[in-house]
């Protein structure tokens, strides 16, 4: 079995549609296991699940290589990515990984708040259910840091116009639709896959 065939990607489900599209198009030949993106709301649980997934992957193939499709999403991510045969996609979060560093930092500097397709549909669960932000509190919190919301449209699912409009009104921020390419994500995954070869 070749090195490439022993590689595995453990990814946040925020990238599920995008990674599956890259696999279907033949651009990405890498088996992927997805962990629920909502684990981010409880970093300790995310850390535990990542540790379990890594342990399981290395138990199945002790000499295997693991790509982590994650940003700097929990306190011990640096420990996970420093394990032999393991490398992580570059970027502090999923939006930077999808956009690429330059585009992400430019928009972030302008005060953009990003919504990935999966989280756009769950915005109320996140802001109200998980963060407990209601009414004027939510508006004040968001407007202090952000000038607008940007929905990152990968073109793989219909744009959730109603959900975006509702979020815009609730948070008091205008919403912008930004078509994005999957090229930065693919490049980041490929780079991490190559890096696993030098992390033994």
Q: Please answer whether residues 93 and 73 qualify as being in contact, where contact means their C-beta atoms are separated by less than 8 angstroms.
A: yes
Q: Please answer whether residues 148 and 175 qualify as being in contact, where contact means their C-beta atoms are separated by less than 8 angstroms.
A: yes
What residue ranges of the chain are covered by domains with CATH 3.40.50?
4-95+182-196
Segment 102-110 mean pLDDT: 96
**Chain centre distance of CA 4:** 23
C-alpha angle 56/68/152, rounded to 5°? 135
pLDDT of residue 33: 96
Could you report the per-residue pLDDT of 126-145, keeping only the tens digit for each?
665 555 556 676 778 778 88
83 compared with 52, residue with greater pLDDT: 52
- Paired residues of 87 in beta bridges: 67
Segment 105-124 mean pLDDT: 89
The answer, yes or no, to whether residue 106 has pLDDT greater than 90, is yes
Residue by residue, what is the 3-state secondary structure of the chain? CCCHHHEEEEEEHHHHHHHHHHHHCCCCCCCEEEECHHHHHCHHHHHHHHHHHHHHHHHHCCCCEEEEECCCCCCCHHHHHCCCCEEECCCCCHHHHHHCHHHHHHHHHCCEEEECHHHHCCHHHHHHHHCCCCHHHHHHHHHHHCCEEEEEECCCCCCCHHHHHHHHHHHCCCEEEEECCCHHHHHHHHHHHHHHCCCC
Report the predicted TM-score, pTM, of the whole model to 2 decimal places. Answer: 0.87
The answer, yes or no, to whether residue 4 has pLDDT greater than 70, is no
Q: Please answer whether residues 12 and 70 qualify as being in contact, where contact means their C-beta atoms are separated by less than 8 angstroms.
A: yes
pLDDT of residue 119: 84
With tokens 């609730």, the residue in question is 170
Q: Which CATH class is domain 4-95+182-196?
A: alpha beta
pLDDT of residue 29: 92
Quick one: tokens of 122?
Answer: 């769950």
Phi, psi for 75 (deg, rounded to 5) = -60, -30
Out of 15-29, 66-80, 132-146, pick the least confident.
132-146
Quick one: tokens of 161?
Answer: 């116009």
């Amino acid at each position: 079995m070749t090195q490439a065939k022993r590689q595995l990607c453990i990814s946040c489900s925020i990238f599920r549609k995008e990674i599956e599209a890259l696999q279907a198009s033949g651009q990405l030949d890498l088996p992927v296991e997805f962990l629920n993106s909502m684990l981010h709301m409880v970093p300790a649980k995310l850390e535990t699940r990542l540790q379990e997934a890594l342990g399981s992957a290395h138990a199945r193939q002790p000499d295997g290589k693991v790509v982590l499709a994650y940003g700097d999403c929990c306190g011990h991510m640096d420990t996970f990515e420093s394990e032999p045969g393991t490398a992580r996609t570059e970027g502090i979060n999923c939006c930077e990984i999808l956009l690429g560093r330059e585009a992400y930092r430019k928009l972030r500097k302008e005060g953009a708040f990003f919504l990935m397709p999966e989280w756009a549909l769950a915005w109320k669960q996140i802001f109200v259910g998980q963060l407990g932000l209601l009414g004027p509190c939510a508006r004040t919190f968001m407007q202090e840091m952000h000038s607008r919301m940007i929905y990152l449209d990968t073109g793989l699912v219909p744009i959730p116009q109603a959900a975006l409009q509702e979020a815009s009104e609730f948070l008091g921020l205008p919403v912008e639709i930004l078509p994005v390419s999957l090229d930065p994500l693919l490049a980041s995954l490929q780079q991490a896959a190559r890096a696993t070869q030098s992390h033994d």
